[in-house]
Chains A and B, each alone.
Chain A
Amino acid sequence: MSIAIPEYIPALIVAVPLLGAFLTPLISKINGKLRNIFVILVLGLNSLFVGLLAYNIFTKSTPDSPFIYTYIFGAKDITLPVVRILFEVDAMSIFMAIIASILTLVAVIYSWGFMKENTGLDKYYTLFLLLTAGMLGMMLTGDMFNFFVFLEITSISSAALVAFWTHKGESVEAGFKYILISTIGALFILFAVAILYGQYDALNIAVLSNAIQYTFLDKIALVLLIVALAMKAGLVPMHMWLPDSYSRAPATVTIALVGATLASLYGVLRVIFTLYGNVLLEPAKFDIPVSMFIGWLIIPLAVISIIVGVMMALRQTDFKRLIAFAAVAEIGYMFLAIGTGLAAMGTAYGRTALEGGIFHIINDALDVSLLFLVAGAIYYATKEWSLNEMGGLARNMKYTTIFFIIGLLAVAGMPPFNGFASKLIIYESTFQLNPILAIVAILCSILLLATFVKVFHSAFMGPKLPKFSDVKEVPKSMLFAMGIIACIIIFFGLFPGLVVENIVRPVADALVSNAQYLSAVFGGV
């Protein structure tokens, strides 16, 4: 059974937040409260569209033929698929779009209370909607150049949002760092796109993937794309912008940034598995397939990310910075799973690793966001970032404490929360590739738990501090937003089988079956 949806729905998903962004300043001239309602409505409507499209795609997909939704923007009669603006939505794209829409919707609900005391909120909400449009566009587009354009939209708006608290020097510094890194990354991507275009006269992902030869220039383009996107995703040698901008941005912006980071991660997956999908199994040198080269390139970086992220998290005293380093470690786990999936492509456990990695993307997005929201709530209540200054907050902030415990256990991979399910899959599959990888992963997970227990102890436990005696629980909208994420976390944790069967497996199918992607796109054109 599937619900009939209009064929232009992918275009709507990008257009609605874009249009909303332009209307927001006008509406905020009327009334601040009206504007908040308007923004929530826009994002709610958008999530509805994403949900409808997702339902359609997941019900129509079978393991043998993943369903891909192609929508051509204008100019239907021309038979050249090369130059038109295409949306190619498969299970992977819509999966990422679901994550992005959950995160942004929650962030907007949360900002109702959290940003109440700030001025310039019309600009804040406008940028926020632009950021959403950029992220969703990155995930749904089927064209390399459009990918670059949406990437730039995302990075410009998020850099402006990172520097939103302009009265603090650090925020501006972090924003500048972020825009510098993302511009360099984006220009790398543009250069790679130009190289590919120069060779194959095409910008469409499917057309490129069909024509790709793995020549020397292709290798350069591949390296440029992976480096630039990994830089935006925060893999370790290029991670230095991430803790700065995560920790200095308002909490709501931080979780939108988590979404933007994951959009770059999606870019890595799309480039490796779809763009270069046809040449992955060809022998590169000494009869070793290309996939194994890329896989073993990613795995060491991922392991270093995990170790560095956890070690740096251990010694932080700044709450949000600590969570940001934990996020670096979590990104490392995803890349570890992806690398394993590549290095062992074609085997059963390589496939399992990929599923684990994909499942971990959504889990990490939820867990880390919940922690950031809790940190934001504490800042809202106490105006304090440093863990050394906090203490005894559990006495005044009951619900926030409960949410923090949920987030803590989920991020550290404790049963019965969702982090456990996906990390277990990752441990099992990496163990089959190389036991050392699994051992490092488990050890770091334990260290992560230690880190957060330390945070829990210093922030929430202990005697009541006199300066916090009049601290109150945060407003209802913030609690509601945290509650949504906590509910999803618990649901995923209790029924991981359900999620893996119905959502994660079709996504992994869609990712690895490159031939079907091509035929579906060409068939749809």
Chain B
Amino acid sequence: MIIGITLIESGVNLFLITLGYRKGSVAPIYTSSPGGVMSLPIPQALTLTSIVIGVAVLALMLSLVIQIYRHYGTLDVRKVRRLKE
């Protein structure tokens, strides 16, 4: 399940990054720009933020999984069902 989440996250991040790309553009560092088209900086900033958030989520999830393993002795989602329906 965690791998699934990270996959979705990478997908969304890639989507964000491609949004900002302009054909033949250079990295948006204003001071050292050789002139010409720059790619949009905002999507890159957004992606960076969302990657950082993703790391935090991932860490928390993994630590919860460790706790679940300690209590249940398994990671099979079909067996981790102590909560009633």
Contacts and interface: CB of A to CB of B under 8 A. Distances in A.
Interface of A: 83, 145, 148-149, 152, 156, 159-160, 163, 166, 168-170, 172-176, 179-180, 183-184, 187, 190-191, 194, 197-198, 203, 244, 248, 318, 321
A194 B15 contact: yes
Contacts of A194: 12, 15-16, 19, 43, 46
Contacts of B15: 191, 194
Leading 4 A-B pairs by shortest Cβ distance:
A169-B71, A172-B67, A176-B64, A198-B19
Contacts of A248: 83
Contacts of B33: none
A315 to B, nearest CB: 11
Contacts of B19: 194, 197-198
Interface residues of B, number: 28
Interface of B: 1, 5, 8-9, 12, 15-16, 19, 42-43, 46, 49-50, 53, 56-57, 60-61, 64-65, 67-68, 71-72, 80, 82-84
A173 B64 CA distance: 8
Contacts of B46: 145, 194, 197
A468 to B, nearest CB: 25
A159 B68 CA distance: 14
Given A179-B60, A191-B15, A184 B68 contact: no
B12 A191 contact: yes
Given A83-B42, A145-B46, A156 B57 contact: yes
B83 A174 contact: yes
B67 A179 contact: no
In the complex, which of the residues B15, B56, B57, B80 has the most CB atoms of chain A within 10 Å of its own CB atom?
B57
A156 B60 contact: yes
Given A152-B53, A170-B83, A175 B5 contact: no
A185 B3 CA distance: 16
Contact of B82 (A148, A170, A203): A170
A184 B7 CA distance: 11
A156 B82 contact: no
Given A163-B64, A190-B50, A184 B8 contact: yes
A183 B64 contact: no
Nearest to A157: B60
Given A83-B42, A173-B80, A197-B43, A187 B67 contact: no
B53 A169 contact: no
A169 B1 contact: no
Contact of A176 (B16, B53, B68): B68
Contacts of B60: 156, 159-160, 179
Given A163-B64, A197-B19, 18 more contacts: A145-B49, A156-B57, A163-B67, A169-B72, A170-B83, A172-B64, A174-B83, A175-B64, A176-B65, A176-B68, A179-B60, A180-B1, A180-B5, A183-B5, A190-B16, A194-B19, A203-B42, A321-B84
A173 B12 contact: no
A160 B60 CA distance: 7
A197 B57 CA distance: 24
A174 B68 CA distance: 10
A172 B64 CA distance: 6
A244 B49 CA distance: 30
A83 to B, nearest CB: 6
Contacts of B67: 163, 166, 172
A88 to B, nearest CB: 19
21 contacts: A148-B50, A163-B64, A166-B67, A169-B68, A170-B82, A170-B83, A172-B64, A172-B68, A172-B71, A175-B64, A176-B61, A176-B64, A183-B9, A184-B5, A190-B12, A194-B16, A194-B19, A194-B43, A194-B46, A197-B19, A244-B83
Contacts of A159: 60, 64
A199 to B, nearest CB: 10
B83 A187 contact: no
Contacts of A187: 5, 8-9, 12
Contacts of A174: 83
B68 A173 contact: yes
A362 B25 CA distance: 51
Nearest to B59: A156
A179 B43 contact: no
A179 B61 contact: yes
A183 B12 contact: no
Contacts of A168: 71
Contacts of B5: 180, 183-184, 187
A210 B57 CA distance: 34
Contacts of A160: 60
Contacts of A148: 50
Contacts of A170: 82-83
A166 B64 CA distance: 9
Nearest to B42: A83
Contacts of A173: 68, 80, 82-83
Given A176-B64, A184-B5, A169 B57 contact: no
